[in-house]
């Protein structure tokens, strides 16, 4: 069985359609279909069945796709061990992290690793929670920093998790706002404010909308940004208020005021790797670099 075709099969299991697999692999849908047909020939087993215009995995296809993840991970581990036999951790580790932890957690860790392991190459990519776990599952990332609080994020027994930090959700106000005090904020008092939100269906957009609705109002959204720096600039200029994670607020760079919520809300920041064979040495050192100083607990599974 060709490992590349096995990876296409695992991507079909995760992404659901041949078209989505083709986009992820930079191939045409017909090329993906041809390669999967070759894999059926290699295995001598029907792996796919057509339902209308779509293709789905048979029972045998599902079993092979899920076994293939462990096979591919094991191959990656063996390759890394052979490349770095008797040497320090080396090779490429693809680390996915969402925006607010890139500068606060990921970049400092990568900086330390560059000094300690000159043959280790960490490729850092920005991935929001709804993107990072699928990327991890299909093998496009070796390690991700995500959150366990995203309602649309299915975390199952195929992942091992390491808690890293807890981050409060804060109300962010312009510096001259009349409510820029220190006491916790009741969101009901901000029902008539203009709001800046994250892009639709993102973790923070869904959370902010839910909190506003729990306070019994529909927010008047005047701006949507995928970049927290743009949100902070808009708030600083007095054009909106926002709900942001504490790690996203750089109070030294932006003149904004933050207030805790009267009903506190936090998010759990977590590192995740694929469960199965032990992570290769290079992945382990990246994972260790992300741990908070007092953290000594082992990786735990969901």
Convert the pLDDT of each residue in 102-133 to its tens digit. 988 999 999 999 999 988 899 999 998 878 88
pLDDT of residue 299: 44
- Number of Cβ within 10 Å of residue 232's Cβ equals 23
pLDDT of residue 189: 94
pLDDT of residue 208: 95
Buried b (16+ CB within 10 A) or exposed e, 179-212: beeeeebebeebeebbbbbbeeebbbbbbbbebb
Q: Is the pLDDT of residue 256 over 50?
A: yes
Q: Binning pLDDT at 50, 70 and 90, where does residue 296 land?
A: very low
pLDDT of residue 301: 41
pLDDT of residue 186: 94
pLDDT, average across residues 154-179: 88
pLDDT of residue 235: 96
Q: Binning pLDDT at 50, 70 and 90, where does residue 249 land?
A: very high
pLDDT digits (tens, 9 = 90+) for 49-86: 988 778 889 999 999 988 888 888 778 777 766 665 55
Q: Compute the distance between CA of residue 78 and CA of residue 73 in angstroms, rounded to an integer.
A: 9
Q: Binning pLDDT at 50, 70 and 90, where does residue 302 land?
A: very low
Q: Binning pLDDT at 50, 70 and 90, where does residue 297 land?
A: very low
Q: Compute the distance between CA of residue 37 and CA of residue 31 in angstroms, rounded to an integer.
A: 10
pLDDT digits (tens, 9 = 90+) for 192-236: 999 999 999 888 899 999 999 999 999 999 999 988 999 999 999
Q: Is the pLDDT of residue 279 over 90?
A: no
β strands within the chain, DSSP E: 48-51, 54-57, 91-97, 120-126, 143-147, 159-173, 194-197, 220-224, 242-245, 257-259, 266-274, 300-301
Q: Say which residue, 261 or 139, is predicted with more confidence.
A: 261
pLDDT, average across residues 168-186: 90
> Phi, psi (5° rounding) for residue 117?
-130, 85
β strands within 47-193, DSSP E: 48-51, 54-57, 91-97, 120-126, 143-147, 159-173
CA 269 to chain centre: 10
Buried b (16+ CB within 10 A) or exposed e, 261-274: beeebebebbbbbb
Helix (H, G, I), strand (E, B) or coil at 129: helix
Residue 195 tokens, joined: 């709001």
Q: Compute the distance between CA of residue 46 and CA of residue 60 in angstroms, rounded to an integer.
A: 7
pLDDT, average across residues 258-272: 92
Q: Is the pLDDT of residue 177 over 80?
A: yes
Q: What angle do CA 234, 235, 236 make, to 5 degrees?
A: 90
pLDDT, average across residues 79-107: 80
Note whether 187 and 59 are within 8 A (CB): no
Note whether 96 and 136 are within 8 A (CB): yes
Q: Is the pTM of this model over 0.85?
A: no
Q: Is the pLDDT of residue 300 over 70?
A: no
Note whether 163 and 270 are within 8 A (CB): yes
Q: Binning pLDDT at 50, 70 and 90, where does residue 151 land?
A: low
pLDDT of residue 82: 67
pLDDT of residue 290: 92
Q: Say which residue, 244 or 277, is predicted with more confidence.
A: 244
Q: Say which residue, 16 or 264, is predicted with more confidence.
A: 264
Q: Binning pLDDT at 50, 70 and 90, where does residue 294 land?
A: low
């Amino acid at each position: 069985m060709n490992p590349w075709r096995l990876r296409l099969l695992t991507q079909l299991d995760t992404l659901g359609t041949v078209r989505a697999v083709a986009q992820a692999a930079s191939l045409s849908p017909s090329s993906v279909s041809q390669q999967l047909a070759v894999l059926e020939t290699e295995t001598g087993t029907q792996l796919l069945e057509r339902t209308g215009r779509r293709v789905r995995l048979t029972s045998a296809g599902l079993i092979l796709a899920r076994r293939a993840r462990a096979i591919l991970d094991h191959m990656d581990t063996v390759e890394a061990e052979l490349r770095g036999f008797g040497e320090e951790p080396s090779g490429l580790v693809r680390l996915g992290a969402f925006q607010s932890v890139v500068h606060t957690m990921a970049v400092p860790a990568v900086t330390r690793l560059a000094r300690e392991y000159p043959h280790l190459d960490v490729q850092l990519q920005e991935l929001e929670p709804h993107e990072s776990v699928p990327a991890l599952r299909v093998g496009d990332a070796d390690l991700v920093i995500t959150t366990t609080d995203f309602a649309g994020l299915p975390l199952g027994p195929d992942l091992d998790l390491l808690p890293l930090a807890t981050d409060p959700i804060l109300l962010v106000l312009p510096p001259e706002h009349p409510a820029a005090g220190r006491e916790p904020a009741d969101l009901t008092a901000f029902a008539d404010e203009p709001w800046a939100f994250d892009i639709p269906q993102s973790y923070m957009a869904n959370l902010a909308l839910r909190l506003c609705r729990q306070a019994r109002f529909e927010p008047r959204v005047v701006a949507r940004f995928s970049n927290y720096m743009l949100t902070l600039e808009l708030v600083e200029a007095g054009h909106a208020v926002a709900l942001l994670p504490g790690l996203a607020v750089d109070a030294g760079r932006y003149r904004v005021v933050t207030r805790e919520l009267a009903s506190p809300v936090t998010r759990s920041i977590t590192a995740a790797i694929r469960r199965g064979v032990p992570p290769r040495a290079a992945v382990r050192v990246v994972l260790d670099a992300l741990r908070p100083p007092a953290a000594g607990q082992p990786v735990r599974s969901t």
